[in-house]
Amino acid sequence: MRTPWMFALCLTACAGSPDRPVCVEPATGLPSDLACTGLYNPDDPTQIAADVMPYTPGVTLWSDGAEKHRYLYLPPGSMIDTSAQDAWKFPAGTKAWKEFVVDGKLVETRLFSKRTDATWDSGTYIWDAAGSAATLNTAPKGIVLDSGYEIPAQKDCDKCHHGGSDRLLGVEAVALALPDAQGATLTSLAQQGLLSQPPATTTITIPEDATGKAAAAIGYVHANCGMPCHSSRGLGDETKLVLRLRADEFWAADGSSKPTPVTQLDTYVSTVNQPPTTAAVAQQFPGAFRVTPGDHTKSLIWLVAHLRGNYQMPPLVSHAIDEAGTGKVSAWIDALPPP
C-alpha cells in the first residue's frame, strides 16, 4: 500500500522542479514516470531510496548481454510469507525493479508492483537519451533497438512471470541462497526478520557430480528455463520437462539442509536420455534427446538455447545467443559419460 507519507514525499520531491513531473499516483496501474515509483531517494533522486534493497540472485537470466541491477521494496512492518518455501507470497505494496544497461547506457527499468493482495501491475520505463528520466512504455509490441536489444511490451511480462508463485521470479529461496547471491540474500532477509518462516540453513550450493560441471549448467537452466516456464507451475505438468530447482531438493521439511544428488534432481531426471515431447521437435532435431550424455550437439536443451529464430529458447524478447551461458550447458553434457 502506498502510504500518504510516501505520497507526500513524492509530491514534495517532484514539485518545484520544472524537469520533474508531479507524481499523481493513478488509482490503478503504474505512474507514468519512474521517478514516481519509489525507487529513488526523494531528497536526492540520483540515489536509490534508503528503504529499497539492491539484490542479485545467485543465478540470472540472460538478457542479450545487458548489465542488470535489481531492487526490492517491502512496505514497513511487512514480511514475505515463506510458509511454502517454494511459493513465496509477497505483501501488498511490494515492488521489484530491474534496470537494464546496454552498451554502458541505461535503457529500461522494469517494475512489478503489488497493488492489492490479488493484483500486480507491471511495465517497463524507457530512459531518455540523456539518462535523466524514464517514462512508462505503452507500445503494444516489443521495441527492437538498433543494437538488436528488445524492450518488451507490457503484455509480454506475464508470459515469463506467470512462472512465479506470486509473479516475482528471482526473489525466491533457491536463487537468493546460492553463493553468488548479493545484497538482499536469503541470509540477510532472514536476519532482518523479513521472512515469515526462514529455513534453519540460509545458504545452499547446487550439487555437483563427477564431471565437476553439473552445478554451473543446472544453475544456468534454473534461471533461464526453469524460473519462467519449465517448472511444475508452468509447462512442466504437460511436458514433464522440469528445469526449475525446487526448495525441497535443498531443504528438509524442518528447514535443515537436505542435499539431493545430481542424478535425482528434476533437471537431470527429466532430461538425460529423455526424448522430446512434440513430434515437430523430434523431426527438426532427429535423434536428439533433451540431454544426450557426451554429445551436446544431440541435446535439445543446448540446441534450442543456442539458437535464434524458429525453435529458439526462450521464445521471446531475446535475439542474441548467450555463448558463455550455453557453454556451461554444453560443457556439462559433453563431460557426462555416454551410455
Would you tell me which residues interact with ligand HEC (CB under 6 A)?
Answer: 57, 60-61, 70, 96-98, 110-112, 122-124, 152, 154, 156-157, 159-161, 168-171, 223, 227-228, 314, 316-317
Cell representation of residue 254: 524442518
Name the one residue in this structure whose C-alpha cell is 543446472. 218
CB of 43 or CB of 323, closer to ligand HEC: 323
Distance in Å, CB of 119 to ligand HEC, minimum? 15
Are 336 and 299 a contacting pair, CB within 8 Å?
Answer: no
Cell representation of residue 333: 553434457
Q: Which residues pair with 116 in a beta bridge?
A: 119
Distance in Å, CB of 144 to ligand HEC, minimum? 14
| Bond prior to 314 in cis (omega within 30° of 0) | yes
Distance in Å, CB of 160 to ligand HEC, minimum? 3
- Residue 230, classified by CB atoms within 10 Å of its CB into exposed (0-12), middle (13-18) or buried (19+), is buried
Distance in Å, CB of 44 to ligand HEC, minimum? 23
- Residue 294, classified by CB atoms within 10 Å of its CB into exposed (0-12), middle (13-18) or buried (19+), is middle
Q: How far apart are CA 338 and CA 335, in angstroms?
A: 9
Distance in Å, CB of 161 to ligand HEC, minimum? 6
CB of 39 or CB of 215, closer to ligand HEC: 39
CB of 40 or CB of 289, closer to ligand HEC: 40
CB of 82 or CB of 211, closer to ligand HEC: 82
270 CB neighbour count, 10 Å cutoff: 17
CB of 166 or CB of 249, closer to ligand HEC: 166
Distance in Å, CB of 318 to ligand HEC, minimum? 7
Strands (E), 64-169: 67-73, 95-102, 105-116, 119-127, 134-136, 143-144, 150-151
Strands (E), 133-255: 134-136, 143-144, 150-151, 182-183
Distance in Å, CB of 68 to ligand HEC, minimum? 6
CB of 122 or CB of 299, closer to ligand HEC: 122
- 3-class DSSP assignment, residue 203: coil
CB of 160 or CB of 173, closer to ligand HEC: 160
